[in-house]
Structure formats: structure tokens, C-alpha cells
Amino acid sequence: MIHEQLKIISKQLIAKDTVEMTFRGRMAQEKILPGQFLHLLVGEGTNHMLRRPISIAGVDRQASTITIIFKLLGEGTNTLAKAAPGDQLDALGPCGQGYPVDDLQLEKALLVGGGIGVPPLYYLAQCLKRKGVHVTMVAGFQNKAQVFYENQFRLLGNYYLATDDGSAGEKGFVTDIINAEKLDFDQYFTCGPTGMLKAVSTQLSNQEGFISIEQRMGCGIGACFACVVPAPDSANGYKKICKDGPVFRAKEVVL
């Protein structure tokens, strides 16, 4: 993990309340695994200065850029969205443990993402495709206005879309698609709200898989215990999402 002022080189709204932001910096030359995150200092110079963990949606080592996607969820992310190209942001990263792409032995991967859990899976899909793995992505959003990166995913493999209200793709949840399509895969990789992670890991309990937990964090570097999750087989009975995760083997933690 390094500490760097990352320069914003682009920012755009890619769906309702959803911002894609790209930075340039030497951090892009670090080894960055999908699932790892940046811990960005937001509101610098104000009374509301806080670091926000934002997962990495893409890395271009040649261009030395890192892309994040975040949703406008409150004061912190609204402040972050006001930063403009040319501005610099204080960043720690890459933080946490990502999907262990280099160690994986598989031919077919199922990726399941919900809402703001989708961005790290885009970077994962790129890494898996480079390894020659066949990728199937199942994405879930509330409605059509929230959908992003559909075309980008379609370029990397099979893509299925579900929305809660049926305004795009199939009406229903990602679990409905997994049920209906009888998808063939060796391992699954999922990221999204806790309810979705629970439903997916229960549905696929006979398969090997990884989950990435999206949760509010405090320090983001393992110092404050704000992010613990029960892990019955670990020495002290818990894991820290920010430091031991956010990616875990599905059977390693109890949601």
C-alpha cells in the first residue's frame, strides 16, 4: 500500500447518481488485485474530513491510470463527486485483500454483482479474461436508470441483467437468473449488498466461491475494529473486512 496524491484526469456520470472517476499516479504501477480499494481523503481542509473506501473498477498500467466508480450516497460521496479533472486527491492504496487471480485454477467463472458491487467485478472480469477464463456475468440493479457498464461486460463474455422492477433485463433478482439459466461454472465471485451476498452464497453453497463485502469502514487499515465479521475458523473468531478482506472465501466468514 502506498500513500499518494492522485490526479483526477476524468469524471463522468455513467448512470443515475453513479460517477466514474479516473486518476493518474504511480500507484497504478503497484500490483493491484480486483476487489482491492482506494481509501480516499474527502473534504480535505474542512471540518468533515474523512477517508472513504472506494473499490477499484479498472487499472491501466501503460497509461498509469486507476478508475473507480461510486454512488452518490451521502455527504462524503457528494463531496468526492465535486472534485474535478486536474484536482488531486490524497489516496491510500491499494488497500485490503482482493480476489487471488494469479492463484486461481479454473476455466469458467461466474461473476454476480449487485449495484455498486458491480465495479470491482469489471476489473476482475478483465483479469480473468486475460488468463483465458470464460466469464459469465450476472448483474442486478434496482432499475434501468441505475444500470452501467452493460456493453463493457458484454465484450468480455456472457452477460445477464436483472432489475427489481423489470425496466431492463429480467424482472427479479440475480438469484432468479442463476436459477433459471442453469449456468455452468467452476467457481463464483460475488460482490454487492449483504442480503444479496447471503442469498447467492446460500444458493451456491455446493460450489467454491468468493464474496466481497461492501461495508462502511472507519480507519480502513485494520486499526479500529469498525468492520469485523464473524469468522468461526479463525484464531480470534473474527476477520476485519478492511484488512483481511473485503474479499473472502465464501465459507470463511458468516454474514
Contact residues for ligand FES, defined by CB under 6 A: 217-220, 222-227, 240, 242
Report the C-alpha dihedral over residues 154, 158, 163, 164, rounded to 10 degrees. -160
Residues 6+ apart with CB under 8 A from 102: none
Q: Which helix (H) or strand (E) holds 23?
A: strand 18-24
Question: Of 5, 85, 86, 95, which is closest to residue 41 (Cα–Cα)?
Answer: 5
Least distance from ligand FES to the Cβ atom of residue 37, Å: 11
Least distance from ligand FES to the Cβ atom of residue 243, Å: 6
Q: Of 4 and 244, which CB lies nearer to ligand FES in the complex structure?
A: 244
Q: Of 52 and 240, which CB lies nearer to ligand FES in the complex structure?
A: 240
Least distance from ligand FES to the Cβ atom of residue 162, Å: 31
Q: Of 43 and 218, which CB lies nearer to ligand FES in the complex structure?
A: 218
Least distance from ligand FES to the Cβ atom of residue 100, Å: 20
Q: Of 157 and 222, which CB lies nearer to ligand FES in the complex structure?
A: 222
Whole-angstrom Cα distance, residue 146 to residue 140? 10
Whole-angstrom Cα distance, residue 199 to residue 171? 17
Least distance from ligand FES to the Cβ atom of residue 123, Å: 22
Name the 3-class secondary structure at 244. Answer: coil
Least distance from ligand FES to the Cβ atom of residue 156, Å: 31
Q: Of 13 and 224, which CB lies nearer to ligand FES in the complex structure?
A: 224
CA angle 236, 237, 240 (to 5 degrees): 85
Q: Which helix (H) or strand (E) holds 247?
A: strand 247-249
> What DSSP line would sit under 167-229, residue for residue?
SSSEES-HHHHHHHHT---SEEEEEE-HHHHHHHHHHTTTSEEEEEE----SSSSSSS-TTEE
Q: Of 43 and 222, which CB lies nearer to ligand FES in the complex structure?
A: 222
